[in-house]
Structure 1
Amino acid sequence: MTDEDALVFECALDAPVEKVWRALSIPEYLERWLKPSAEKIDLAVVNSEENKSLTYRWRESGQGAIVGAEDSMVTFEITPMTDGGTWFRLTHAPMALPVAANGNSSAMLMAA
């Protein structure tokens, strides 16, 4: 996996780091913010550095989930800003990239 495979979202939040951390690390708060009731997402903490970063293993399940989809990693990084707000960075990266069945890789060309 390379950085090019990840989805990255960054923005400034008008809340202190401690408040953002609570929203990311307390399951009831995270669920209200991140998990719409119609979707089933299984999350497991992989790495945590209080008030700095938090990484979850993310797996979609239930109706609408992609069959055979691999887990992905979602990392939240938060940094205090001089105005009392928080710089927020979310990175959603696949753990393994699926290979297209109709790909034109050299292995596929040799088999033909």
Structure 2
Amino acid sequence: MTDPDALVFECALDAPPEKVWRALSIPEYLDRWLGKAEAGAERVDLAVVTSEENKSLTYRWRESGQGAIVGAEDSLVTFEISPTSDGGTWFRLTHAPQALPVAANSNVMMALAA
């Protein structure tokens, strides 16, 4: 079941799954796709969570740098790819917030609005 807060995008790509996989999994290619941030600008920190070659790849996504929202939660970005009958790729991207559990006995205090 898809997270109701998730953003899902799907489309057909005119490239075989192996080529799409390389674009998603090789850091230099991924940097070109996401765009390298200039010094001090907002950027994205990625860490691989799960990977199934030529099928799916999930990254933990965290924005950082100038312009990033302080205290914003991480999210999970999952890329799913599958071959199409014409030699291309069916591409599905799911971007979902990652809920971080807070212990019931947490010492975190909530600020009240004045």
- The one-letter amino acid of 1:14's match is D
User: In the aligned structure 2, how far is the partner of 1:78 from the partner of 1:43?
Assistant: 19
User: In the aligned structure 1, how far is the partner of 2:82 from the partner of 2:48?
Assistant: 20
The alignment partner of 2:4 has SS state of helix
User: In the aligned structure 2, how far is the partner of 1:65 from the partner of 1:20?
Assistant: 28
The CA deviation at 1:4 is: 1.2
The alignment partner of 2:28 has SS state of helix
- The one-letter amino acid of 1:11's match is C
For residue 13 of structure 2, what is the aligned residue in structure 1?
Answer: 13
1:91 aligns with 2:103: no
- Aligned CA RMSD, in angstroms, stands at 1.4
For residue 62 of structure 1, what is the aligned residue in structure 2?
Answer: 65
Give the direction of change, closer, same or farther, for the CA distance of 1:44–1:6 in structure 2 (3 Å limit).
same
- The one-letter amino acid of 1:71's match is D
User: In the aligned structure 2, how far is the partner of 1:19 from the partner of 1:83?
Assistant: 15
Please identify, of 34-43 and 59-68, the stretch whose mean Cα deviation from structure 2 is larger. 34-43
The alignment partner of 1:23 has SS state of helix
1:78 aligns with 2:81: yes
State percent identity of aligned pairs: 84
The CA deviation at 1:36 is: 4.6
The CA deviation at 1:55 is: 0.2
Aligned positions, number = 96
Listed as ranges, the gaps of 5+ residues in structure 1 are 98-112
Listed as ranges, the gaps of 5+ residues in structure 2 are 101-114
User: In the aligned structure 2, how far is the partner of 1:53 from the partner of 1:61?
Assistant: 25
- Cα-to-partner distance string for 1:2-61 (whole Å, 9 max, x where unaligned): 621100010000000000000000000011002353431100000000000000000000
Please identify, of 37-46 and 51-60, the stretch whose mean Cα deviation from structure 2 is larger. 37-46
User: In the aligned structure 1, how far is the partner of 2:34 from the partner of 2:84?
Assistant: 23
